[in-house]
Amino acid sequence: MKRYIALLRGINVGGKNKIAMAELKIGFSELGMLEVATHLNSGNVIFSSPDDDAHALSNDIQFMIKDKFDLDIPVHIVSQAALQELLEHAPDWWGNDNKAIYDNLIFLMSPLSYEAFYHEMGSPKAELEQVEHYKKAVFWSFSRKDYQKTNWWSKTANSNVRNKMTIRTANTIRKIAGM
């Protein structure tokens, strides 16, 4: 039995793609997932499954969401162990206690590569944002007060790769990695 995190992209954001977490948990349970828990209202579902095929799990969850909620939602699956490994490789500047900085982790959904993602996003503005990738994720930090001046801020919502990635804050990642 493996522990996984399903990261649903773009639910309950700005009044769009509304899904009640209680109903989502029921849907996961109906798929045979065990120990289902959610974190926040933004599509973080932690569960256990004997299936170790993340792609198959993602497809099953996407079909369930389409059937149950009539939404086409990209779903990224990461094992809890892989998420903990990502955190072990976080750069020193990411996720510290500096309240002037906003720390995110961008998950690249298959088949999106870091090279294709970076080509689409362009170079970050060094004076405002820092990035470092590890495997299929990108650690991204930027100035809270100047976030609208960063190169990547608007592009995460408007680029051609926006539906092939999902973003979580450092605090959320730490929480769900330990659930």
The chain-wide mean pLDDT, for the chain, equals 93
Would you state the CATH architecture of domain 89-177? Answer: 2-Layer Sandwich (3.30)
Overall average pLDDT of the 107-116 stretch: 94
Give the pTM: 0.93
Q: What is the pLDDT of residue 15?
A: 79
| Residue 13 confidence (pLDDT) | 79
Looking at residues 96-100, what average pLDDT do you find?
A: 88
**d(C-alpha 83, C-alpha 124), whole Å:** 24
pLDDT at position 23: 96
pLDDT value of position 16: 85
In the numeric block, the tokens 């996003």 are attached to 121
pLDDT tens per residue, range 131-175: 999 999 999 999 999 999 999 998 888 889 998 999 999 999 999
Q: Which pLDDT belongs to residue 121?
A: 95
| CATH 3.30.70.1280 domain extents, the chain | 2-80
The sign one gets for the Cα dihedral 126, 130, 131, 132 is positive
Class of 2-80 per CATH?
alpha beta
In this predicted structure, what is the pLDDT of residue 12? 80
- Every domain of the chain with CATH number 3.30.70.1260 lies at 89-177
Average pLDDT over residues 43-65: 95
In this predicted structure, what is the pLDDT of residue 109? 94
